[in-house]
Structure 1
Amino acid sequence: MSGIKDRHRLVLQHVVILIFLTQSCGGQHQMIGPTQPVVAMIGDDIILPCHLEPAVDAVDLTVDWSRKDLKPRSVYVRREGVELLTEQNPLYTGRTSLSVNKLQCGDVSLKLSTVQLSDAGTYKCLVPKFNAESVVTLAVGSVSSPVIELTNVKNKMVLECKSNGWYPEPQMLWVYSEGKPISVEPTKIVRGSDGLYAVSSKVTVEKGQSYSFNCKVQQKNISQIKETHIHVSGDLFMVQSNTAVHITINLTVCLISVGTAVILIWKCGQKKTKNKRLEDEFQNNEEDLEHVQQTIKKLKEQKTSLKNQREKLITLIQEDKTEKKEIMNMLETFVLGKQRQKLTNKEKDLEKRTEVHDELLKMTEKLMEEIENIIIQITERKGKLEKDKEQIIKHLREKQRNEKDFEETVRETSEKQ
């Protein structure tokens, strides 16, 4: 009888130990997730990381992804190898999946396609068998490259930096190329019906001086910074950015101002050359020549600046063509669904950017042609002034000889008397 009790006691001990080991073994499994928020841009396909440690085959296990702020809260549910779509929140229909190959290694990470603004939030990853869960925070953002528009206002130029389609609300900052902050108008922020923010800011500068500016738009929560650079040279402009920069400039005003200066110089010269005294004519001629030479020098500097801009624009257009060719090659590989839509949208944006670069190139070449014509006209005027100078010098010498001859004649006449 004592032996039977000992056997029962031994069996009971084994059972207790077995239960303890089973519970201990089950308790060792834990869910591992990211310690930092996952950041995704609108339209991206992303992975919300989550895996069991130690690794175990989870193909036939229940996996539950949810958000407690939703009704229904279920984002994705998988039980015994089958997805339960009826329990899924409609916001995620057709956009969530798990990898079977990864499930075999205990990786229950959720793939979320075509991220939307409403996807931002806190997700819970749960495997009930091991009572293992983890939390993943998803931050959703949207960015766009800023553009700079330049317009003439009397004796000043207004540079306006704009950027649409941001989330969360961004900051805009103007800085000199040296990195020093400058005083600008308050940033305007508007939130559209799509939930995205549009920002804009203006800075006004004096004409006739050169400036270099950077316009930065940043969102620290999603670690995103977009910027563009512009160099304004005198009354002209020069683009120094790979980003499309829209510039509105009144070419007619620029050309008329230069042309007017030429006409004024010509009229001034005409008026002064009519002066009866040769000495004054000579002095006026010298002043006209100096003005003309300074004008030619300034125009040549502007022409060089435009030439550099043209080369940069040609480079940008070539880059646009290369990128467009790459997109077309990708579309020919039969990319489907959202990825194809993203490529198509990118191709449209690229076409718009190319149009801007083409327009700037045409404006630049037109202005170069006009400046070249003015340089030719002023050079002709310079040649005429130089000929007039030679004639004036010739007349002065003749006058001096005549005066000398007259004085000699008077002297001889006096001696004879």
Structure 2
Amino acid sequence: MQKSRMKDKVLLVLLHGVILLLTWHYGGQSQMIGPTQPLIAMTGDDIILPCQLEPARDAVDLTVEWSRRDLKPRFVHLKRDDAELLTQNSLYSRRTSLSINKLKCGDISLKLSKVQVSDAGTYSCLVPEIGAKSGMELVIGSISSVVMEISKVKNEIFFKCKSNGWYPEPEVFWLNSQGNQMTAESTNSAKGSDGLYTVSSTVTVNKRQTNSLTCRVQQKNINQTEEAHMHVSADFFLVQCNPAVQITISVAVCLILIVTTVFLIWKCGQKKTKIKIHDEDENELHQTEMKERLQRECEEKKILKNELQNNEEDLERVQETIKRLMEQKTSLKNQREKLFTLLQEDKTEMKEIMKKLERETPKLDKEKKMHRRGDKKTNLEKRMKVHEDLLKMTEKLMEETENIIIQMTERKGKLEKDKEQIIKHLREKQRNERDLEETVREICEKI
């Protein structure tokens, strides 16, 4: 009889252990959650490769493997036995890290610093102890400004466009003043030792085609576009040189008229010739002064144009930054509302568990349910803690984003005021230039 009772007790203990193991295996196993869309990073930037255990659990003592199958060795970052092996692959030496604080909340996201072109690929994050795994694709991009050059042969103008430091390989488009695409004569692309592409393209136009041209370099994979514009005045087709050369030609014509006038005056009399020569000397001196002033005005106008171009580029970058920050703010707001809803659901579920625990007494036939609810309460408390931490982090990011938006808006206002001042000064220089050119023409007519 006593042996039968002992046997029943052993069977009861074994059955209880099997039930607990099944409960842990099917009810408490975590899954890995990663991004569903490819991640995009620009060269030189830092990026977080997101990976989260759900439901969240402490991963400080777990093995964490980050790898790329196309590499040998394949490990990008490996944490095992409370130690981080940072240089499994030399390409990632001293550029990867895990946050201990985040690991405590089940966040095994990897920080990758100073992104390089070679970092592009498919990454996997794995926790072998629980079999949780997730994958993601990282797309690397690099862009650069566009430079345009111009030259003229007879009635044809040659435009050349060049930009270096792109990845992946971009496309080059030419657009006329109506925004229609033009066919380029030649387009070249070369990959440097650093893995970045240099592109160049050439197009030829004549006066009847267009006097304004845009060179656009774009990469659709990373959704980046850079372009440069150039406008050619009608005078450029008439004279194969700049305004200073036009003045020189006018002076040459004037000198021919002066020689003719001197010869006629000499024939009329020596006295009249001396007076005329004196007047001509004064006119030439005045003309030289006007030319020097005109040259200074042209140089100052060129400086103002460069300042205006730099201002417009800065203003465009600031406006784009404000746009992205507003999008980020909206995304954070949605995330905050979602976390708040999840937290409210957790609190409601916690109240229900507490009520059930208070109603039930630890009788023998209810002991298993009590254990399950106690474990569920513990897991729920951890999940509530993760949601609360994420909510605080989201609110902090929203506050920082709002501060940056305010700073960028102030910067935008200052750039717009500076642009108005530059345009005002540029118009004054243009008026002065026209007045000086008119004065020079009048002097030439007098001579």
| TM-score, normalised with respect to structure 2 | 0.57
Percent of aligned positions with the same letter in both sequences?
52
Letter in 2 for 1:206: N
1:51 aligns with 2:44: no
Cα shift at 1:376: 1.7
**Aligned residue for 2:308?**
315
**Aligned residue for 1:77?**
78
**Aligned residue for 1:106?**
106
Which of 10, 25, 28 does residue 23 from structure 1 map onto? 25
Q: 1:236 to 1:259 in 2, by over 3 A?
A: farther
Cα shift at 1:315: 3.4
Letter in 2 for 1:62: T
| In structure 2, distance between residues paired with 1:183 and 1:320 | 27
Q: 1:18 to 1:258 in 2, by over 3 A?
A: farther
Letter in 2 for 1:176: N
| In structure 1, distance between residues paired with 2:50 and 2:442 | 72
Q: 1:186 to 1:318 in 2, by over 3 A?
A: closer
| In structure 1, distance between residues paired with 2:251 and 2:208 | 16
1:203 aligns with 2:203: yes
**Aligned residue for 1:377?**
440
* 1:254-278 Cα shifts (integer Å, max 9, x gaps): 4445656x659969x99xxxxxxxx
Residue 221 of structure 1: SS of its match in structure 2?
coil
* 1:221-249 Cα shifts (integer Å, max 9, x gaps): 12111112222222359xxxxxxxxxx97
Task: Report if the CA contact (8 A) 1:120-1:139 is conserved.
Answer: yes
**Aligned residue for 1:147?**
147
**Aligned residue for 1:218?**
218
| In structure 1, distance between residues paired with 2:235 and 2:69 | 59
| In structure 1, distance between residues paired with 2:116 and 2:168 | 13
Residue 138 of structure 1: SS of its match in structure 2?
strand
Q: 1:194 to 1:235 in 2, by over 3 A?
A: farther
Q: 1:14 to 1:254 in 2, by over 3 A?
A: farther
Q: 1:205 to 1:264 in 2, by over 3 A?
A: farther
| In structure 1, distance between residues paired with 2:444 and 2:241 | 29
Residue 202 of structure 1: SS of its match in structure 2?
strand
Q: 1:189 to 1:249 in 2, by over 3 A?
A: farther
Letter in 2 for 1:214: T
| In structure 2, distance between residues paired with 1:96 and 1:249 | 56
Task: Report if the CA contact (8 A) 1:51-1:108 is conserved.
Answer: yes
Task: Report if the CA contact (8 A) 1:61-1:79 is conserved.
Answer: yes
Pick which of 60-69 and 204-213 moved more: 204-213
Task: Report if the CA contact (8 A) 2:186-2:203 is conserved.
Answer: no
Q: Unaligned stretches of 5+ in structure 1?
A: 238-247, 271-303, 323-363, 385-417
Q: 1:179 to 1:229 in 2, by over 3 A?
A: same
| In structure 2, distance between residues paired with 1:142 and 1:107 | 29
| In structure 2, distance between residues paired with 1:104 and 1:135 | 21
1:37 aligns with 2:43: no
Cα shift at 1:149: 0.9
Question: 1:324-343 residue pairs with structure 2 within 5 A?
Answer: none
Question: 1:327-406 residue pairs with structure 2 within 5 A?
Answer: 374-380=437-443
**Aligned residue for 1:180?**
180
* 1:122-156 Cα shifts (integer Å, max 9, x gaps): 11111112111111211112110111111222332
Cα shift at 1:51: 1.3
Cα shift at 1:308: 7.4
Cα shift at 1:10: 3.2
Question: 1:160-171 residue pairs with structure 2 within 5 A?
Answer: 160-171=160-171
Cα shift at 1:163: 0.5
Task: Report if the CA contact (8 A) 1:207-1:235 is conserved.
Answer: no
Task: Report if the CA contact (8 A) 1:174-1:181 is conserved.
Answer: yes
Matched positions, count: 298
**Aligned residue for 2:228?**
228
| In structure 2, distance between residues paired with 1:259 and 1:57 | 86
Letter in 1 for 2:191: R
Cα shift at 1:37: 1.6
Task: Report if the CA contact (8 A) 1:216-1:227 is conserved.
Answer: yes
| In structure 2, distance between residues paired with 1:131 and 1:223 | 36
Q: 1:183 to 1:305 in 2, by over 3 A?
A: farther
* 1:345-371 Cα shifts (integer Å, max 9, x gaps): xxxxxxxxxxxxxxxxxxx99999887
| In structure 2, distance between residues paired with 1:39 and 1:252 | 49
Question: 1:63-74 residue pairs with structure 2 within 5 A?
Answer: 63-74=64-75
Tell me which protein shows more helix as a share of its residues: 2
Question: 1:128-139 residue pairs with structure 2 within 5 A?
Answer: 128-139=128-139
Q: 1:258 to 1:209 in 2, by over 3 A?
A: farther
Task: Report if the CA contact (8 A) 1:51-1:109 is conserved.
Answer: yes
| In structure 2, distance between residues paired with 1:45 and 1:249 | 48
Q: 1:259 to 1:47 in 2, by over 3 A?
A: farther
Residue 221 of structure 2: SS of its match in structure 1?
helix
Larger radius of gyration: 1
* 1:201-221 Cα shifts (integer Å, max 9, x gaps): 122233598622221111111
Q: Unaligned stretches of 5+ in structure 2?
A: 262-296, 316-426
| In structure 1, distance between residues paired with 2:241 and 2:111 | 48
Task: Report if the CA contact (8 A) 2:141-2:222 is conserved.
Answer: yes
Residue 19 of structure 2: SS of its match in structure 1?
helix
Give RMSD over aligned pairs: 4.0
Q: 1:115 to 1:254 in 2, by over 3 A?
A: farther
**Aligned residue for 1:287?**
none
